[in-house]
């Protein structure tokens, strides 16, 4: 057996390129933190080499040790044979510039809402005026935690129905030392929040419709179905949110919800509602914003919808 500390002839660059080709040939699906084989290879190999995914290009010529190279190859093989998302293999995901612990109890963070958080929700909100935030369907806690870090004056409630997911979120809240400003709440949507009011309600809920659920690539089948499936039309959670949100928003508050591919179904269901569809410079779509006053104005429309 070779000495694990021995240097190989492989640089970081060589190992990444080799891994990229192997991933491409294996036909794995990307969509859990990366969207191409090169980025995924760089993530796996850099992790095996003990580097963060945003390592400096200057390190590309660094020569890997035997142990690092073998660790990278083992990760690559597991990624291909198991079809587990890399985030589950590495037990980490990067969201809005922050690292989160993840495992198969939670969806892998990837929402374009990260870009809004980095912008402190400007121009939709004035950051200094956001005191109370609700993250509905928090999963790993990524949106709630990144928002609390971006808005240091804000108090954040993070709601989740799955105890398994809450246990993961608890690990992340503790690692960012946010327990004094961020409350994890076990609740079916708003049910445990009676009487509370927020300046911002943000959510990346389950929104995959039945047709898309049936056609999901294998990687997504490792994620909790509770985090993805949302009935025949993908709107099973979004409609109750639209119906109930006005009772939990301050008059100047806003509701921001990701609905992904179900945007068309939502717009078709409510053609008279002027959803603001947010645009993202770093990619992503299917996120709408409605002001509290609009939710009030169209309350009857939402209540009569099903």
Which positions lie near ligand SAM, rule CB under 6 A? Answer: 106-107, 109, 111, 137-140, 142-143, 159-162, 165, 188-189, 204-206, 226-227, 237
Q: How many Cα atoms occupy the beta-carbon half-sphere of 205 within 13 Å? A: 30
Q: Are strands 182-186 and 155-160 parallel, antiparallel or unpaired?
A: parallel
Least distance (Å) between residue 258 CB and ligand SAM = 8
Is the CB of 199 or the CB of 223 nearer to ligand SAM?
223
Least distance (Å) between residue 226 CB and ligand SAM = 4
Cβ-proximal residue to ligand SAM, closest one: 139
Is the CB of 19 or the CB of 111 nearer to ligand SAM?
111
Least distance (Å) between residue 121 CB and ligand SAM = 16
Is the CB of 20 or the CB of 140 nearer to ligand SAM?
140
Is the CB of 80 or the CB of 226 nearer to ligand SAM?
226
Q: What single-letter DSSP state applies at residue 123?
A: T
Question: Angle at Cα 112 formed by Cα 106 and Cα 116, nearest 5°?
Answer: 115
What b/e sequence results for 210-247 when a residue is b if at least 16 CB atoms lie within 10 Å of its CB, and e otherwise?
eebbeebeebbeebbeebbbbbebbbbbbbbbbbbbbe
Least distance (Å) between residue 159 CB and ligand SAM = 5
Is the CB of 53 or the CB of 284 nearer to ligand SAM?
284
Helices 12-26/66-82 angle, 10° precision: 10
């Amino acid at each position: 057996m070779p000495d694990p500390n021995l240097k190989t002839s492989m640089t970081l660059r060589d190992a990444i390129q080799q891994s990229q080709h192997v991933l491409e040939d294996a036909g794995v699906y990307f969509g859990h933190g990366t969207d191409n084989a090169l980025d995924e290879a760089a993530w796996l190999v850099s992790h095996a080499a003990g580097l963060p995914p945003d390592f400096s290009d200057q390190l590309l010529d660094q020569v890997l040790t035997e142990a690092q190279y073998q660790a990278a190859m083992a990760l690559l093989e597991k990624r291909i044979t198991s079809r587990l998302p890399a985030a589950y293999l590495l037990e980490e995901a990067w969201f809005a510039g922050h690292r989160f612990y993840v495992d198969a109890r939670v969806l892998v963070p990837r929402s374009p809402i990260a870009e809004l958080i980095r912008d402190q929700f400007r121009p939709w909100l004035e950051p200094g005026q956001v005191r109370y935030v609700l993250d509905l369907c928090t999963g790993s806690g990524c949106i709630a935690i990144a928002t609390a870090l971006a808005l240091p004056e804000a108090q954040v409630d993070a709601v989740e129905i799955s105890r398994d997911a809450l246990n993961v979120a608890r690990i992340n809240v503790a690692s960012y030392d946010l327990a004094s400003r961020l409350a994890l709440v076990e609740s079916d949507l708003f049910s445990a929040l009676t009487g509370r009011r927020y300046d911002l309600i943000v959510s990346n809920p389950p929104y995959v419709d039945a047709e898309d659920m049936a056609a999901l690539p294998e990687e997504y089948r490792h994620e909790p179905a509770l985090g993805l499936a949302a009935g025949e039309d993908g709107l099973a959670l979004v409609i109750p949110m639209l119906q109930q949100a006005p009772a939990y928003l301050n008059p100047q508050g806003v509701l921001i919800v990701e609905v992904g591919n179900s945007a068309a179904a939502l717009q078709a269901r409510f053609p008279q509602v002027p959803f603001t569809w947010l645009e993202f410079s770093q990619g992503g779509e299917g996120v709408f914003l409605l002001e509290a006053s609009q939710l009030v104005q169209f309350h009857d429309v939402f209540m009569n919808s099903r």
